[in-house]
């Protein structure tokens, strides 16, 4: 694949997190598919799914090492781990399917339809993170309508939700607006 075309836009994505920050770049490519061939500097070729699979396998291995060397001291296997992958709300099912195939190809789930891999929209996770920070004062948000905006490195996702909170514990999130978004992050 030749990326020397100067008409292509170079995209820099920065995920500024609370404990870690990462950055990545790519040349804008329309219609990336699981069969897309990516060539390394050394000339090796991999499909897009193979690249994702390798990345997921590496991250998962670091997770396993972290848990097994923690005070929990527990052995990990793919049947006892619930993986949750956050995705932008604008992602089509095709994109999630590519991720699911990559997880399966990496050996992290036993079948492509395994219930051990769930997808969660990024603004929902942003809301959960917010409530985790406010856990001692949750009752003040009971039945309030919240606008949740997740502005990331590549997309911005927006939704309206209303939490039901009983005894300072979240019982339910009612989604009042179908999550919407666009690929206008990092502007």
Helix (H) or strand (E) holding 60: helix 48-68
What is the reported pLDDT for 12?
59
Q: Position of tokens 């990545």?
A: 24
What is the reported pLDDT for 2?
45
> Six-digit token pair at 123?
């603004």
| Phi/psi of residue 175, nearest 5 degrees | -85, 115
> Six-digit token pair at 81?
């781990």
61 pLDDT above the threshold of 60: yes
Domain-wise residue ranges, the chain? 122-182
What is the reported pLDDT for 105?
93
User: What is the distance of C-alpha 16 from the center of its chain?
Assistant: 14
Q: pLDDT tens for residues 6-57?
A: 555 555 555 555 556 555 555 544 555 556 777 777 888 888 888 888 888 9
What is the reported pLDDT for 31?
53
65 pLDDT above the threshold of 50: yes
pTM flag (> 0.85): no
What is the reported pLDDT for 100?
92
Helix (H) or strand (E) holding 45: strand 45-47
Q: pLDDT tens for residues 122-178?
A: 888 888 888 888 888 888 999 999 998 888 777 888 889 999 988 888 888 888 988
Question: Which comes out higher in pLDDT, residue 25 or 63?
Answer: 63
């Amino acid at each position: 694949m030749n990326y020397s075309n100067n008409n292509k836009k170079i995209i820099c994505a920065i995920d500024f997190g609370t404990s870690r920050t990462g950055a990545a770049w790519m040349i804008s490519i329309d219609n990336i598919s699981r069969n897309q061939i990516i060539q390394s500097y050394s000339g090796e070729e991999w499909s897009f799914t193979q690249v994702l699979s390798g990345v997921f396998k590496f991250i998962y291995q670091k997770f396993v090492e972290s848990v097994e060397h923690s005070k929990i001291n527990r052995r990990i296997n793919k049947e006892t781990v619930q993986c949750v992958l956050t995705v932008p709300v604008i992602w089509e099912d095709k994109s999630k399917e590519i991720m699911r195939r990559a997880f399966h190809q990496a050996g992290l789930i036993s079948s492509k339809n395994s219930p051990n891999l769930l997808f969660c929209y990024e603004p929902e996770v942003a809301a959960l993170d917010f409530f985790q920070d406010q856990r001692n004062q949750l009752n003040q948000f009971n039945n309030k309508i919240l606008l949740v905006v997740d502005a990331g490195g590549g997309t911005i996702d927006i939704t309206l939700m209303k939490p039901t909170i009983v005894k300072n514990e979240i019982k339910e999130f009612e989604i009042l607006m179908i999550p919407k978004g666009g690929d206008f992050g990092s502007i």
